């Protein structure tokens, strides 16, 4: 619970600045700097989509080759899956039978609120960090790296996401949170003038 209204107002401003900065940076980076990073062009995508519509029963995340996720597979079935995996091809498919708009208000709002929540976590860290301005900014950049290394590494290491995709994610989040951190850290009061934003 916020005890000092002045502290609460400053904290909310720091969160807002961080969230807006990351939202705007994300729009710029995904439309220009890292557009299509790691993706390959599919020349016959209509034929592939038609075949997927015939082969996949419903929306979902599919693994190729498809293992038995029930936990009831026999040793022979598990061995067959591993043999197919070693032989290839392998992949993951996020499949939706219906179409949708590439950009919608709902998607934009979801992304914005996600950035606000992330900025709130970063603001809590900054509020408790007794350090020079540059170190607080660097800390925000490291939080961006933390998120990528703890999550995106899974997709790159285990599921074979392209190196370029992983690198783009890392640069995107580190640079983005450095920029957001520059604004957020400038608004966080000196240690002697801070109250606790949460009790």
128-163 pLDDT, tens digit each: 998 999 999 999 999 999 999 999 999 999 999 999
Q: Tell me the helix, strand and coil percentages in the chain, rounded to 5.
A: 65, 5, 30
pTM: predicted TM-score of the whole model, two decimal places: 0.85
What does the domain layout of the chain look like in residue ranges?
5-40+102-193, 60-95
DSSP class of residue 191 equals G
84-107 pLDDT, tens digit each: 999 989 999 999 988 889 999 999
Say how far apart CA 104 and CA 80 lie, in whole Å.
43
Say how far apart CA 97 and CA 164 lie, in whole Å.
28
């Amino acid at each position: 619970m916020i005890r000092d209204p002045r502290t609460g107002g400053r904290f909310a401003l720091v969160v807002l600045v961080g969230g807006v900065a990351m939202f705007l940076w994300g729009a710029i980076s995904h439309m220009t700097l890292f557009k299509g990073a790691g993706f390959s062009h599919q020349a016959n995508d209509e034929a592939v989509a038609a075949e997927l519509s015939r082969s996949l029963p419903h929306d979902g995340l599919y693994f190729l080759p498809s293992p038995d996720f029930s936990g009831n597979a026999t040793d022979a079935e598990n061995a067959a899956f591993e043999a197919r995996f070693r032989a290839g091809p392998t992949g993951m498919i996020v499949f939706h039978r219906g179409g949708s708009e590439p950009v919608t208000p709902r998607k934009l709002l979801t992304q914005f609120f996600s950035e606000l929540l992330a900025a709130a976590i970063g603001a809590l860290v900054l509020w408790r960090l007794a350090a020079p301005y540059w170190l607080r900014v660097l800390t925000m950049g490291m939080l961006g790296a933390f998120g990528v290394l703890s999550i995106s590494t899974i997709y790159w290491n285990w599921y074979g996401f392209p190196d370029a995709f992983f690198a783009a994610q890392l640069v995107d989040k580190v640079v983005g949170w450095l920029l957001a951190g520059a604004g957020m850290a400038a608004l966080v009061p000196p240690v002697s003038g801070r109250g606790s934003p949460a009790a």
